[in-house]
Amino acid sequence: MTSGEILAELTPEEKASLCSGLDFWNLKSVTRLGLSSIMVTDGPHGLRKQAGRSDHLGIGDSVPATCFPAASAMACSFDRDLLGEVGGAIAEECLAERVSVILGPGANIKRSPLCGRNFEYFSEDPFLTGEMAAALIKGIQQKGVGTSLKHYAANNQETRRMTSDSVVDERALREIYLAGFERAVKKSGPWTVMCSYNRLNGTYACENKRLLSGILRDEWGFKGLVMTDWGAMDNRVDAVKASLDLEMPGGSGYNDMKILKALKSGVLSEEELDAVVLRIVELILASQKTLERHKGASSDMEAHHALARKAAVKSAVLLKNEGMLPLAAGKSVAVIGAFAKVPRYQGAGSSKINPTRLEGAFDALRAAGFWAEYEPGYEAGAGVDTATGADMAALIEKAASLAAKKDAALVFAGLPDEYESEGFDRSSLDMPESHNKLIEAVAAANPNTAVVLHLGAPVLLPWADKVKGILLMYLGGQASGAAAADLLSGAANPEGRLAESWPLSLEDTPPYRWYPGKGKTAEYRESIFVGYRHYDAAAKDTAWPFGYGLSYTSFEYSRLKLEGTSFKKGGVLRAGVTVKNTGNREGAETVQFYVAAKSSAILRAPRELKEFVKVSLKPGESTTVNVTLDERSFAYYNAPHACWALEGGTYTVLACSGSAGTRLEADIEVEGDGLEKALAPLREKAADYFSQGKGEFGVSGAAFEALLGRPLPPAERKPGDPFTVNDTLQDIKDTETGRQLAENFRAVAAQAGNDPGLRLMMEKMVMEMPLRSISMLSPDLTPEKVEAIIGSINTGNTGNAGNAG
C-alpha cells in the first residue's frame, strides 16, 4: 500500500496515536495496515543505542559502536568528503542494529564558548556549519538511514534550555542562526528535523508556525518530518497546526487524546491532522524498505576504527610549533597527564557512545618506537581538583622530575567531563588548576615541552608562551590517542583549521554581558556579531583566530583571478587561486574565500566566509583552486522588506589561510537594489552597533529594541503570577510542594545510570525542566497529576507532592 492509501484507511484514533512515540526510542505500529514500529536513537558522532529494553530516562548502557570525533573536532577538518565517509560508516552501524533514524547532526551556532554542549556543534560560522552538516547527512542517508537535523532553532545554551525565550533580531536569526540549517536542508534533504526546547521570540519552537511551516517548509522546501526534542512538547494541538509531526518520547497517550478531542470539536481540521500523519507514515514506509533490503546487515568495526583514527588526524589543529614537532626519532620522551593513557575523547550527555575500543597516546607512542616514560601528573577524573594540595603537588613534582630527565616532554591536558556537558554551561574558560600548574611545572623543568589538548571548546592557556608546541585534538573519538601519536611523531601532517575563534578572555566574547541571560529570556544583543565577525569589527586580538592552523610544511598563494569585474542579482562569480606546497613534506591546505564590502551604510561584519576548498599537495606541487560565489555570497537579510538584498558598491574577494590570514584579494563591483535605505534610521537608533571598541561589547536596551523592532519582553517572572506547566522546579521550589518535589527529583537524578557524567547532567538539568516534562523522570507522575499539583500550589492547598521515584 502507498502512504496515501494507508492514510485513507487509518481511523481517527490510529492517526492521533501515530503522532507520538511508542516509548523512548520507537514509533508506534499499525500492523493491520503493514506499518511496523521503527527505532530512532541518539547520535550524532556515532550510534548510541540502548542495549536491551530502554529505561524511562533513555540513558542506560548502550551497545558498542564506533565513537568518531565530535562535531567540534570534525568541523576543523574543513573536509566534506571526510564527513561523508564518516556518515556512511555510522549508517552501516545503524543498519546492523536495525536503527532507522539517527538523531543528528547538531547545527546550532557557537554563540558563546561557554555553552556546555558546544562539542556537539560545528562552528561559530553558519556557512561552515551548513556545509559540514550537509556532508554528514548525505553520507548517512545515501545508505538508507535517516537523520534528524537539530536543534531547530536558536538553542545556543544549556542554562534553562527547556523554557528560555531566545530574543533574536530578524537579521541575526536569518544570517547567523538559521543559515546553517537552511544550507543543510537545501543541500542534503534530511529525513527529519528536530525542534529545540526553547521559545524563539516568545513562541515555543514546537508550536512556532512561522519557524516550522513558513520558513522550513514553505521557504526552504523541506518535505520531511519534524519531531520534538525529548520532552519539548508544549501545546500539542498548536504544534499540529504548526506542522510539528511527531512527539517524542511517547508512552502516556495524554497528548494523543488532546488531538482527538480537538479533531472532534473542530478546533483541529482533518486536513491539518492528515498532513502530519502522512509524513509519519512516509517515514515508516521508507525505513521499512531499507530494513528489508539490509536484513542481517553487519559492519566492519576494524575499518571504522581506522576511519575514526583518520578523522581524528585530519581534524586536529596545530596551534603552536617552535620547531619541536614532529618529534625527532630516537629521542627520549616524558609522557605526562592521565589523558595520555585514557584520553577525553567525547562529551558527556545524551551523545555519549560506548566505544568498541579506546587507544591512548602513550601506548601508541611506544608502539611507534619512542623511548617514553609516563607520569599521570593529575588524578584521572578529578575534574574539579578534588585532590588535596599536597597530593596535587606530589603528582606535579614527580611529573616535572621525569620531564627534566628526558629530551622532550609531552603534557596531555584539557577539560574533564565535569567541566563541560549537555545540561549545563561553563561559568569560565579556565582549565582545571591541576592541569595548568602541571604544564607550568613541566615547562619549567624541560624547555622542549609540548601540550596536547583534549577538550570540547576553547579555554584560556596562561602558559602558552612557555611551551614550544600546542596540538589541539578537541574530542577526537576513540582513536584520538593513536591519532595524536601519528601527528606528534610525524607519521601524519596536521591539517585542521579552527572552526571557532579562541578568545584571549571571557570578557572579549561577544555575548559576555548577556550570556546566558536571566530569568525568562536570553537576549541576543550582539546580533550578527558572533565569533570572528565581532573580533574583526571591534579590532580585537584573539589567542587564535577562526580558520587558523599550522602545518609541518608551507604554502604559497598566487594569481587570484575573478571572472568578470561586476556582479548583479541572480548572477554567479567564479574565482580561482593557485596554491603551491613550498615545503619539504606532503600536506593539506584549506583555502578560505571571504567576501568584504569596502564600505557600507548598514551593519556588516568586516568579512564573512563564503566558500572553502581543501587540497593535498606533494612538495613542490601546485594546483588551481576554483570556487563559485552566488548572490547569497554578497547579500544581507533586509528585515523591513523580509528578503535577502544586495547593497551596491565595491566588494573584495579575499583568498585566505584563515579569517586573519589574507593572502590575496581582488575587487568586484556589485549592482545593488537600494533596499538598504529602509535601514537608515538604525544609524541613530542603534548607534551602539556602529561603534564597537576593544572593550566589552555594550549594547543598550534601546539600541537592541531598535534592531528588534519591538519592546523587549519581560526578563523576570512577575510576583503573584500563577504557576503553569511551563514553570520549573526552580520556580516553585520556595513553595512547600515545590520543595518536596525538588528534593524527590534531585534524588532521582543522583541515581540516574552508572555514568558519573550522565548523573551530573541530570542533577544540573532537573531543576530547570518544565513541570510538563518531569513525567520523563517519573512515569507515575502523569500529566494529569502534574496539573493537579500546580493547581494546588496556585490555590495554596499544599497536599502530597506525589512519589517522584
Q: Which amino acid is at 754?
A: N
Which stretches of 709-750 are DSSP H helices?
Answer: 729-732, 736-750
* Rounded Cα–Cα distance for residues 656 and 664 (Å): 7
Question: Which of these, 212, 194, 192, lies nearest to 203 by C-alpha position?
Answer: 212
Half-sphere CA count of 404, side-chain side, radius 13 A: 10
Task: Please answer whether residues 592 and 663 qualify as being in contact, where contact means their C-beta atoms are separated by less than 8 angstroms.
Answer: no
Which stretches of 751-782 are DSSP H helices?
Answer: 756-765
- For 147-157, b/e burial (b = at least 16 CB within 10 A) is bbbbbbbbbbb
Task: Please answer whether residues 765 and 738 qualify as being in contact, where contact means their C-beta atoms are separated by less than 8 angstroms.
Answer: no
Which residues, at least 6 apart from 174, have a Cβ–Cβ distance to it below 8 Å? 637
Q: Which amino acid is at 501?
A: S
* Rounded Cα–Cα distance for residues 256 and 263 (Å): 11
Please give the positions annotated as active site.
229
- For 670-698, b/e burial (b = at least 16 CB within 10 A) is beebebbeebeebeeebebbeebeeeebe
Task: Please answer whether residues 102 and 140 qualify as being in contact, where contact means their C-beta atoms are separated by less than 8 angstroms.
Answer: yes
Q: How far is CA 126 from CA 178, 205, 328, 588, in A?
A: 8, 20, 40, 23
Q: Which cell is 41 given? A: 536513537
Task: Please answer whether residues 168 and 524 qualify as being in contact, where contact means their C-beta atoms are separated by less than 8 angstroms.
Answer: yes
* Edge-to-edge strand ranges of the sheet holding 371-375: 317-321, 469-472, 449-454, 408-414, 332-336, 371-375
Which residues, at least 6 apart from 2, have a Cβ–Cβ distance to it below 8 Å? none
* Rounded Cα–Cα distance for residues 334 and 315 (Å): 25
* Rounded Cα–Cα distance for residues 319 and 496 (Å): 10
Report, in angstroms and rounded to the nearest whole number, the Rg of the chain calculated over CA atoms.
Answer: 26
The reply to whether omega before 545 is within 30° of 0 (cis) is no
Q: Which stretch of DSSP H or E encloses residue 401?
A: helix 389-404
* Rounded Cα–Cα distance for residues 40 and 726 (Å): 27
The reply to whether omega before 711 is within 30° of 0 (cis) is no
* Rounded Cα–Cα distance for residues 527 and 264 (Å): 44
Which residues, at least 6 apart from 528, have a Cβ–Cβ distance to it below 8 Å? 171, 172, 175, 176, 603, 605
* Rounded Cα–Cα distance for residues 132 and 370 (Å): 36
* Rounded Cα–Cα distance for residues 760 and 11 (Å): 44
Judging by DSSP bridges, how do beta strands 165-167 and 521-523 pair with one another? Answer: parallel
Task: Please answer whether residues 395 and 104 qualify as being in contact, where contact means their C-beta atoms are separated by less than 8 angstroms.
Answer: no
Task: Please answer whether residues 499 and 123 qualify as being in contact, where contact means their C-beta atoms are separated by less than 8 angstroms.
Answer: yes
* Rounded Cα–Cα distance for residues 638 and 522 (Å): 23
Q: Which long-range contacts does 254-261 make (Cβ < 8 Å, 24+ apart)? A: 254/782, 254/783, 254/784, 255/19, 255/20, 256/16, 256/17, 256/19, 256/20, 257/16, 259/15, 259/16, 259/19, 260/12, 260/13, 260/16
Question: Which of these, 475, 447, 162, 457, lies nearest to 323 by C-alpha position?
Answer: 447
Q: Chain centroid to CA 638: how far?
A: 27
